[in-house]
Structure 1
């Protein structure tokens, strides 16, 4: 299989990843450009480096350097990190093109399939992760969990109290919980949701 066919497979894979999966599910336009440019940039550099004897080492080094630069430049959600690494991996696979060619195509397909399944909206859809500010101080963890379960209408699996303010009578808590089957929105009267993941 020619190198151009591998490049076309990379373009197809990154297009599916970005335009069929990421954007319809998450609607963040700025990362569409980032994923596309990172993929094509890594593909271009890796394909040039593939003619040298140190291609694999340089490719892994490039993967690491780009990851550090990108992850330090802005805060990303965990699913966005997964898409970012997928875009990098697709570019490296196509650029370095391990032989035989079916290995490259299989690995690229595996990355796309894993993202289709792993980021599917129906997968573990009732599980939530939020940072909540409550308008009362809860020094007792058992009482706090009971209040959160009642407020959220959910089963709390884990909490981490980030701030307990006895002067201003507030509690900031990170909560991991599972919504009841009939409950669709984790909105409570006594808490204000600051961050939802």
Structure 2
């Protein structure tokens, strides 16, 4: 049953990291992180299941590992979802190895849930960006219009975090709907001018 569970786990993490994640987000470093984390968890939990050491010890160790890793600012909230599914797949496939149908069902549930929840056609794609503007807007409507012009998308929410009248600038935390990719002459699809992305600087 170990080899069957291992085959299922490798198939599942391949689908998660290469098919679901990389094709949508394109970060090679996190693909390696997801695969290494998943296979490592599967190997250690499989070993603990054969020893007198309780599984709670293994869960605790990887819980600490995940907390420490997720403190990084370089990983987005969406990528945290893939991170936890990679952990869950390793744990499920190691623990549920004696029950093949349960193992297959849980793998299908985890992967299909992530596929549906992260599908770009299910919900409008939104992004968060902290921007420093070279102008101070007193009127919220003017601020929103300026941000939509710079970002070329529909602004959903804006929080003003800093206003500096001396240097005539303001810092805003903005959530906006990602614009559709369009072809611009002389520039690949999806590329935006730096002035639009970084507040005109």
Matched residues in 1 for 2:82 and 2:107: separation?
A: 13
Aligned residue in 2 for 1:132: 131
Secondary structure of the structure 2 residue equivalent to 1:174: strand
Q: Within 2, Cα distance between the matches of 1:181 and 1:55?
A: 51
Superposition deviation, residue 181 in structure 1: 7.2
Report the CA distance shift for 1:188/1:76 in structure 2 as closer, same or farther (over 3 A): same
Cα offset, 1:127, TM superposition: 2.8
Q: Does the residue aligned with 2:71 lie in a helix, a strand or coil? A: helix
TM-score of the aligned structures, taking structure 2 as reference length: 0.80
Distance 1:137 1:105, change over 3 A: same
Q: Which residue of 2 aligns with 1:64?
A: 63
Gap runs ≥5 in structure 2: 184-189
RMSD over aligned Cα atoms: 3.0
* Change over 3 Å in CA distance of 1:125–1:186 after alignment to 2: farther
Give the TM-score normalised by the residue count of structure 1.
Answer: 0.81
Deviations 1:4-62 (Å, cap 9, x if unpaired)?
11111011000111121222222222222211111111001111112356644224313
Q: Look up the match of 1:105.
A: 104
Q: Which moved more, 1:49-58 or 1:20-29?
A: 49-58
Report the Cα offset of residue 92 of structure 1. 0.7
Structure 2 partner of 1:36: 35
The CA distance in 1 between the partners of 2:72 and 2:174, in whole Å, is 27
Q: Which runs of 5+ in 1 are unaligned?
A: none
Q: 1:182 to 1:96 in 2, by over 3 A?
A: closer
